[in-house]
């Protein structure tokens, strides 16, 4: 009777030993591997930055305008990035008025704006009734249009390239057809030039 009683205990012990052996077998599994280290990859971001240059007459106003009068003011826009890191794709102009009047809200008979660029600094005469002449061949940056606009695209801008400066002449005209409703009015025009990044591409 005693021998029969020990049999279940022995079988149980063998089962435990078998399970332990199975787990130990899993722990000794191995495989071949290989790895290599890539070289360091240096990455830098570009720059989109413009500043006002040496000339800025846009802060000088004009008074007593009558139909047919013009207001000319010079302003320089400089790309202060380097040729290597500047990533400017285009330059735009946003104008606003505060206070505002028919001088800026009347898109037909109100103030009209044209912008030209000179390859060298404009030669200035007079003051504050300034006039300008170009010592080279001027180019049209913005054809005549109503003075107020949002993100107006400017063409022929060399300041899209790092280190370059655009010498601009902003010319406002009160059209000859402006009627009596535009008398004794006042508007203050604000100008914001904005550089936009170039089109994204693969590098």
Average pLDDT over residues 14-21: 46
What is the three-class DSSP state of 157?
A: coil
**Domain-wise residue ranges, the chain:** 50-197
- Residue 194, pLDDT above cutoff 80: yes
Average pLDDT, rounded, for the chain: 89
- Residue 22, pLDDT above cutoff 70: no
Residue 16 confidence (pLDDT): 46
In CATH, the number for domain 50-197 is 2.60.120
Average pLDDT over residues 74-93: 95
Residue 28 confidence (pLDDT): 64
Residue 27 confidence (pLDDT): 58
Q: What is the DSSP string of 39-86?
A: PP------B--EEEEEEE-TT----S--TT-EEEEEEEEEE-S-TTTB
Residue 151 confidence (pLDDT): 98
Distance CA 193, CA 202 (A): 28
Average pLDDT over residues 75-90: 94
Tens digits of per-residue pLDDT, 42-62? Answer: 999 999 999 999 999 999 999
- Residue 120, pLDDT above cutoff 60: yes
Give pTM, 2 decimals.
Answer: 0.81
Q: What is the DSSP string of 114-138?
A: EEEEESSPPEEESSSS-EEE-SS--
Give the model's confidence band at 26: pLDDT under 50 very low, under 70 low, under 90 confident, else very high: low
Residue 140 confidence (pLDDT): 98
Average pLDDT over residues 120-134: 96
List C-alpha distances in Å: 184 to 51, 103, 111: 35, 10, 14
């Amino acid at each position: 009777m005693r021998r029969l009683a020990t049999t279940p205990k022995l079988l149980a012990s063998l089962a435990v030993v078998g399970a332990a052996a199975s787990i130990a077998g899993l722990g000794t599994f191995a495989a071949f591997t290989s790895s290599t280290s890539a070289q360091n990859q240096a990455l830098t971001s570009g720059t989109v930055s413009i500043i006002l240059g040496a000339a800025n007459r846009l802060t000088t106003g004009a008074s007593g305008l009558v139909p047919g009068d013009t207001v000319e003011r010079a302003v320089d826009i400089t790309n202060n990035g380097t040729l290597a890191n500047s990533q400017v794709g285009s330059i735009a102009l946003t104008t606003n008025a505060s206070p505002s009047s028919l001088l800026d809200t009347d898109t037909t008979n109100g103030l009209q704006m044209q912008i030209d660029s000179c390859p060298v600094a404009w030669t200035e005469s007079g003051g504050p009734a300034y006039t300008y002449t170009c010592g080279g061949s001027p180019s049209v940056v913005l054809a005549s249009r109503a003075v107020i606009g949002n993100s107006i695209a400017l063409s022929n801008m060399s300041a899209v390239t790092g280190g370059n400066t655009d010498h601009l002449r902003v010319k406002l005209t009160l059209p000859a057809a402006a009627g009596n409703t535009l008398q004794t009015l006042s508007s203050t025009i604000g100008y914001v030039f904005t550089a936009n990044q170039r089109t994204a591409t693969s590098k």
